[in-house]
Amino acid sequence: MRILVSEVGPRDGLQSLKRTMSTDAKLRWIAALAESGLAEIEVGSFVHPKLLPQMADAEAVVAAARRIPGLSVLALAPNMKGVQRAVAAGVHKITIPLSASQKHSIANTRMTCEQAIEEVGRICCFRDGLPGENRPGIEIGISAAFGCSIEGDVPEDRVFEIANRLANLGVDTVGLSDGTGYANPAQVKRMFTRLRHELGERAGGAHLHNTRGQGLANVVAALEAGVTTFDASQGGLGGCPNSPGATGNIVTEDLVYLLESMGLDTGVDLDKLMQARSILAESLPGEILYGHVPDSGVRKGFRYANPNGVRSTALLIAAEACETAA
């Protein structure tokens, strides 16, 4: 079975840092990520450069990423203006932030939920009117779907009311997003099961954070519910800068290892993923990169899910492990 790991580090990761990675370093990193076998990368955000100077080079990054054969180039755009920029730059797919929490929606996008949904309607109309070769896909991962750091609990019925409205507006896939690591596996399994039941083909993937250490536990629950697309970021880049120790996105390296170990084919070469990690580490000296597998290596006898791949783990063969009594 094939699972899509959608790499969000160049957007979700880099936008959370105070410093800005150079365009050249971004391009080398993205090329290395794609070379590892990651088939989809969220490369930037079309927000106003005053708000996110780290993303001011989104056009240049998209243009370069588009030249990588076979790569699906994804970017975030928070509103119609951003969408128009993204389309002009030539993205394959656009992700739009939209929150199920009223207060979070206003804090994050200065729009109420209702206003944000209306904006999505306008964006879908605009997109549908574009000529075929310029027409990007639109995906939304509903933020605060599992709870909100401002409002606390978010009623599940509200999340699904929004999900259905978005699907009816023409959004291609509607997923569920947990940007603060609030989700638990019981909730993840229940909600993704319902999402697939209500939205069918338009049910999207899982955007999970590891803030409370529950990221991969939630992946297992989402797999049980039939989810086949997972966002992740290399090195877990993309935490909350105001909350020390609160790590960010689930770590691509550990996620790929998890899935491949379970017999689920990601198409990703862990060795080449480590080479991309080296580029990231060199480009952001001093930045904490998370992940266990980069330190521990793969288990002895590790095999990729697809035995026909030409992938290796030479960089990741564990040093002689020890096992203590019991």
**Residues with a known catalytic role:** 240
Are the beta carbons of 158 and 123 closer than 8 angstroms? no
Are the beta carbons of 130 and 176 closer than 8 angstroms? no
Does residue number 72 form part of the binding site for a copy of itself (CB under 8 A)? no
Does residue number 6 form part of the binding site for a copy of itself (CB under 8 A)? no
**What is the Cα–Cα distance from 322 to 326, expressed in whole angstroms?**
12
3-state helix, strand, coil in the chain (%, to 5): 45, 15, 40
Q: How far is the CB of 65 from a copy of itself (least distance, A)?
A: 18
Does residue number 318 form part of the binding site for a copy of itself (CB under 8 A)? yes
Do the strands 137-143 and 173-178 form a parallel or antiparallel pair, or are they unpaired?
parallel
User: Mask of contacts with a copy of itself, 261-290, x by CB under 8 A?
Assistant: xxx---------------------------
268 backbone dihedrals φ, ψ, rounded to 5°: -100, 140
What amino acid occupies position 243? S
Which range in 57-65, 86-94, 236-244, 266-274 contacts a copy of itself by CB under 8 A? 236-244
Q: How far is the CB of 188 from a copy of itself (least distance, A)?
A: 9
Which range in 9-17, 21-29, 113-121, 155-163 contacts a copy of itself by CB under 8 A? 9-17
3-state secondary structure of 25: helix
Q: How far is the CB of 172 from a copy of itself (least distance, A)?
A: 16
The C-alpha angle 4, 147, 9, rounded to 5 degrees, equals 35
Q: How far is the CB of 132 from a copy of itself (least distance, A)?
A: 27
Contact set for a copy of itself, span 187-226 (CB under 8 A): 187, 207, 210-214, 216-217, 219-221, 223-224
Does residue number 41 form part of the binding site for a copy of itself (CB under 8 A)? no
Write down the residue that tokens 């105001």 correspond to. 242
Contact set for a copy of itself, span 296-315 (CB under 8 A): 296, 298-301
Structure tokens at 247: 């790590």
Which range in 29-37, 59-67, 271-279, 317-325 contacts a copy of itself by CB under 8 A? 317-325
**Residues 105-116 as b or e (16 or more Cβ within 10 Å = b):** bbebbebebeeb
Nearer to a copy of itself, 45 or 266 (CB): 45
Nearer to a copy of itself, 28 or 209 (CB): 209
**Measuring CA to CA, which residue among 30, 129, 128 is closest to residue 74?**
30
Nearer to a copy of itself, 154 or 167 (CB): 154
Rg (CA), the chain: 19
Does residue number 108 form part of the binding site for a copy of itself (CB under 8 A)? yes
Q: What is the number of helices (H) and of strands (E) in the chain?
A: 11, 9
Contact set for a copy of itself, span 110-139 (CB under 8 A): none
Does residue number 10 form part of the binding site for a copy of itself (CB under 8 A)? no
Strand partners, 42: 74
**What is the Cα–Cα distance from 35 to 281, expressed in whole angstroms?**
17
Does residue number 243 form part of the binding site for a copy of itself (CB under 8 A)? yes
What amino acid occupies position 254? D
Candidates 241, 278, 282, 317: give the one binding a copy of itself (CB under 8 A).
241
By CB under 8 A, the count of residues binding a copy of itself is 79
Nearer to a copy of itself, 36 or 95 (CB): 95
Q: How far is the CB of 213 from a copy of itself (least distance, A)?
A: 3
